[in-house]
Homo-oligomer: A and B are copies of this chain.
Amino acid sequence: MKKPQTVALDALDLKILRAVQEDNLAPQRVIGESIGLSPPAVARRLQNLRESGVIRKDVSVVDGHAVGRPLTIIAHVTTENERLELLDAMKERFLRCPQIQQCYYVTGDMDFILIFNVRDMAEYTELTRALFFEGGNVKSFRTCVSMQNIKTDGPVPL
């Protein structure tokens, strides 16, 4: 699974990507029919797209509410010190935390933006203790609770 910066993608590849971003369990025959290509051709292109890393992975999307984790929380974290080792340590900590679904290192005065998926407020509070207070190198953080997840995991626009 290499990661070349640019892979040549023609119009057919884009159509395939659009299709599998909606449903990657659709038979290649169905995908092929919708874009005018035979199943083997679709298979070959999909294999290339996966091996070249254009398709990073193939997953089921699980509903948080249905599995007892209804809360989405967005946290903004500003760091105390921006020394590289300290930042890397923070990234590692965020990466390891299963309740952190997404983590971005951003410009501006909020250095990290984190998106949590938790059972309830108590679980989040406990996490902030471990991650922000005892974790170190956190100057301040701000918490936003999502009242409505309007859109989640949208496809990459093509």
* Partner-B contacts on A (CB < 8 A): 3-7, 9, 14, 17, 20-25, 52-69, 72, 74, 91, 94-95, 98-108, 110, 112-113, 117, 142-158
Contacts and interface: CB of A to CB of B under 8 A. Distances in A.
Contacts of A5: 65-66
Given A59-B22, A106-B147, A108-B144, A101 B153 contact: yes
A104 B94 CA distance: 21
Contacts of A110: 144
Nearest to A17: B62
B6 A66 contact: yes
A17 B68 CA distance: 13
Contact of A101 (B6, B117, B151): B151
Contact of A63 (B55, B101, B112, B152): B55
A25 B155 contact: no
